[in-house]
């Protein structure tokens, strides 16, 4: 019977650890502060930002919310980031994406000081990861490493296949698995004979963005399957990129959707915030 990797429980455990750390830091006179900027009122972004603020409150991190109008100019946003970069009482800065079309996201991400880049999106953070130096790591792939480690799943020497090559998930995921001494293959939409590639995987990370695309015929018997996708199906029910019911009997461990990778992203964001305060 496959092990169900419980991301909700593991993220709760991480949040408890961080809560203790933050309390100890407070006792030493160190306060952790995250600035969260949202431009406009995109409904999904509002939910994500709300969840981040809630997690901060739970752990004891101070959050400063900047809810800017949809028509905020790029210059105004850059000026706010510049101000937050210079403030000693702000440790982390997060600009919720996507931004309205008139703002250049790349320019905004680059404006955040790498020392406060708790999302790990700045080119300097990504470059540091690439060459094995210290820096913030993108939260979803960092969370997946924690899911594996805290479930007792070894990475060293394993065949790891990542499907997806986004800057936020696929690429940093591949680099982190490599850092853990996995043998890593990155597959993507142009990969020829995808099943042939994924069937080699001891650990398969799926970030394709297509509901239930990965069925058991992509899976090696006994593989560990990590599902990054989240979608709503016809019945308004949440599902992932993996056909969970179909894959369950052939894998050795799997993350459910919801309750797998999702909760880990915020837990790792909180972890980055605590690290940004110098702990």
Q: Which residues are catalytic?
A: 52, 96, 119
Long-range contacts at 193-201 (CB < 8 A, ≥ 24 apart): 194/163, 194/218, 197/161, 198/161, 198/163, 200/159, 200/161, 201/159, 201/160, 201/161
Residue 108 C-beta: closest distance to ligand GUN, Å: 10
Can you tell me which of 5, 84, 95, 239 binds ligand GUN, judged by CB under 6 A? 95
To which residue do tokens 């406060």 refer? Answer: 116
To which residue do tokens 């480690």 refer? Answer: 149
Taking residue 58's Cβ as centre, other Cβ atoms within 10 Å add up to 14
In angstroms, how far is the first alpha carbon of the chain from the final one?
Answer: 40
Residues 184-223, interacting with ligand GUN (CB under 6 A): none
Q: Which is nearer to ligand GUN, 126 or 251 (CB)?
A: 126
Residue 119 binds ligand GUN, judged by CB under 6 A: yes
Residue 268 C-beta: closest distance to ligand GUN, Å: 10
221 three-class SS:
coil
Distances (CA, A) of 59 to 1, 6, 136: 35, 20, 19
Separation between Cα atoms, residue 215 and residue 255, nearest integer Å = 14
Residue 173 binds ligand GUN, judged by CB under 6 A: no
Residue 264 binds ligand GUN, judged by CB under 6 A: no
Residue 96 binds ligand GUN, judged by CB under 6 A: yes
Residue 93 binds ligand GUN, judged by CB under 6 A: no
Residue 1 C-beta: closest distance to ligand GUN, Å: 33
Can you tell me which of 35, 55, 59, 94 binds ligand GUN, judged by CB under 6 A? 94
Residue 97 binds ligand GUN, judged by CB under 6 A: yes
Residues 28-67, interacting with ligand GUN (CB under 6 A): 48
Residue 153 C-beta: closest distance to ligand GUN, Å: 24
Question: Which run of H or of E encompasses 3?
Answer: strand 3-4
User: Where along the sequence are the contacts to ligand GUN (CB under 6 A)?
Assistant: 48, 94-97, 119, 139
């Amino acid at each position: 019977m496959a092990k169900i990797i419980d991301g909700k429980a593991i993220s709760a455990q991480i949040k408890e650890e961080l809560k203790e750390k933050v309390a100890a830091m407070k006792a030493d006179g160190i306060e952790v502060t995250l600035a969260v900027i949202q431009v406009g009122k995109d409904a999904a972004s509002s939910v994500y930002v709300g969840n981040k603020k809630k997690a901060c409150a739970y752990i004891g991190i101070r959050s400063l919310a900047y809810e800017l109008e949809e028509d905020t100019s790029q210059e105004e946003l850059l000026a706010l980031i510049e101000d937050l970069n210079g403030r000693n009482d702000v440790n982390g800065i997060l600009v919720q994406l996507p931004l309205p079309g008139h703002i250049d996201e790349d320019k905004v991400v680059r404006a955040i000081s790498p020392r406060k880049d708790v999302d790990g999106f700045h080119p300097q953070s990504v470059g540091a990861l690439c060459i094995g130096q210290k820096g913030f790591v993108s939260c979803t792939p960092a969370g997946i490493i924690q899911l594996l480690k805290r479930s007792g799943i070894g990475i060293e020497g394993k065949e790891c296949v990542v499907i997806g090559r986004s800057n936020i998930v696929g690429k940093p995921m591949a680099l982190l698995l490599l850092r853990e001494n996995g043998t890593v293959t990155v597959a993507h939409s142009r990969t020829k004979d995808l099943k042939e590639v994924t069937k080699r995987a001891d650990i398969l990370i799926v970030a394709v963005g297509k509901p239930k695309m990965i069925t058991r015929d992509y899976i090696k018997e006994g593989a560990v399957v990590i599902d990054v996708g989240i979608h709503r199906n016809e019945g308004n029910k949440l599902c992932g990129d993996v056909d969970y019911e179909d894959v369950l009997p052939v894998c050795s461990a799997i993350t459910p959707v919801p309750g797998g990778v999702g909760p880990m992203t915020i837990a790792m964001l909180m972890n980055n915030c605590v690290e940004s305060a110098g702990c």
